[in-house]
Amino acid sequence: DHGSIDQVQADHGSIDQVQADHGSIDQVQADHGSIDQVQADHGSIDQVQADHGSIDQMQADHGSIDQVQADHGSIDQVQADHGSIDQMQADHGSIDQVQADHGSIDQVQADHGSIDQMQADHGSIDQVQADHGSIDQVQADHLR
């Protein structure tokens, strides 16, 4: 998967650090297919940890990294749209809730340019819902 153990160590400092982060390299591979795939998605495992605390936390939040990517195209795109997945969760409780409210995050962006713009307009998405019952109602009110 890695060409050499030296490459793994170059990426992570030591195999011991990988094991400290994930329990075992085998677990990382069980979660992602290969460490190479994780690196292809995020640049490095260290970057994933910098963004989310740990890969395990991301999986706890979303079921799997693959699901996040299936929902958004890439984790990088989510971060480009919202600053971080953690911020989105802080705003909405969970990404699943955003999707439950809007069908998809892409639809929210199609309707409003960005979730950030909606928040700029209304203070928070929760406030929009408090004002109009639902974001769908806002569209019914203004798209007529």
- pLDDT tens digits for range 110-131: 555 555 555 555 555 555 555 5
So what's the pLDDT on residue 2?
A: 47
Phi, psi of 132 (to 5 degrees): -125, 0
pLDDT digit string, tens, across residues 30-76: 555 555 555 555 555 555 555 555 555 555 555 555 555 555 555 55
Is pLDDT of 1 > 50? no
Residue 37, judged by CB atoms within 10 A of its CB (0-12, 13-18, 19+), counts as: middle
Domain ranges of the chain: 5-141
Contact 11, 45 (CB under 8 A): yes
So what's the pLDDT on residue 109?
A: 53
The verdict on pTM exceeding 0.75 is no
How far apart (Å, rounded) are the C-alpha atoms in residues 66 and 32? 8
How far apart (Å, rounded) are the C-alpha atoms in residues 81 and 74? 11
Token digits for 40?
């292809």
Is pLDDT of 144 > 50? no
Beta carbons within 10 angstroms of residue 113's beta carbon: 12
Q: Token match 């160590």: residue? A: 9
Token digits for 107?
């639809």
So what's the pLDDT on residue 131?
A: 53
